[in-house]
Amino acid sequence: MRLHSSSARTAALLLPLCLAAAACAAEPQAKAAPTPATGSGASTVVAEGPGFRVTLADVDKEIVGPLAELRDKEYELRRMALDKLTLDKLIDAEAKARGVTREALLAAEVEAKVPAPAAAEVDALYEQNKNNPRLGNQPKAAVLPQIERFLRQRGAQERMEAYRGELFRKHGVKIALDPPRTAIPLPAAAPSLGPADARVTIVQFTDYQCPFCKRAQQTVDEVMAKYAGKVRLVSLDYPLDFHTRAPFASKASHCAGEQGKFWELHRALLLEASDLSDAEIRGLALKQGVDGAKFDACYASERYEEQIRKSLAEAAYYGVSSTPTFFINGRKIAGALPFSAFAQIIDEELAR
């Protein structure tokens, strides 16, 4: 079997039984506030009439979101092709150096190192998807081959990504293809974890009711542990309209932040909450050690509603349309992606 790599942003395979992508998507919104065009061409006049001129910057203001999506897609396609071409050449060179075929190398370094799916993994994946209409209420035994096949494929993809990293490091490969970047202005009061002068800043837009944000939190924890002291994490709010409890959770996290417990409640809301009812939110807050009376007064007030609305507007401004969305030194990725997707970008940024 011939294996190859794709971009880390698309490394996570989707379970064939699932209906949705690994992100909570916003409903269609009004056009985002414009981001003015910059650079030498921004002032180029592209239309004139009686008493008016239209510049390229004026045009770009009308299509900010679509332009950003096109630039991101263009980079993603080029990066996928570049990664595949580079990896193919590295694999061929490594196979030649070892005096083996390409197939034999991949069998030894990838296929042989993919563990068999653990029973706990199979059970967990079935539980996550058993209510999916496409399963047709089938018992686990009936869909077991599909689940095991998916887990093996995912394991092979993850091992392929790891082997890619090993080869890139061994041969000192550097990628010079510049990604599009978006400079997100950070409010002074935005919750931040990690050194203020860290070389890598991750800005995360979160919806506490989004199941993919919950899933991504485990990856974020892994990132912050592995890159401790090198990465700064900043949390911004993006509660989706149809997640009616998400704004309350956002407000609660900031109320906990007044007592130095933002990150503790942030994690609890993502990893432990179920219905995000007022009672559950308060219980989780008290569990983190906040003063109940102070928390209640803050939670009953409207002091953070404008801040949350502003965060929503700014998210739309910068093309955020789903959660979780991350900007790693301005490089946008979205969805509950695996650790390898973050690690690849962070390692590239640290190597700059």
Taking only the tens place, the pLDDT of each residue in 263-295 is 999 999 999 999 999 999 999 999 999 999 999
pLDDT at 17: 41
d(CA 251, CA 253): 5
pLDDT in tens, 313-329: 988 888 898 999 999 99
- 51 contacts: CB under 8 Å, gap ≥ 6: none
Rounded mean pLDDT, 171-198: 92
| Averaged pLDDT of the chain | 88
Which class would CATH give 192-350? alpha beta
Torsion, Cα of 110, 115, 117, 120 (10° steps): -140
Name the pTM for this structure. Answer: 0.75
| Class of residue 141 by CB neighbours under 10 A (exposed 0-12, middle 13-18, buried 19+) | exposed
> What residue segments make up the domains of the chain, in order of their start?
72-171, 192-350
- Tokens 């998400």 belong to residue: 246
Instruction: Please give the Cα distance from 305 to 90 (Å, whole number).
Output: 52
Helices 211-226 and 339-350 sit at what angle, rounded to 10 degrees? 40
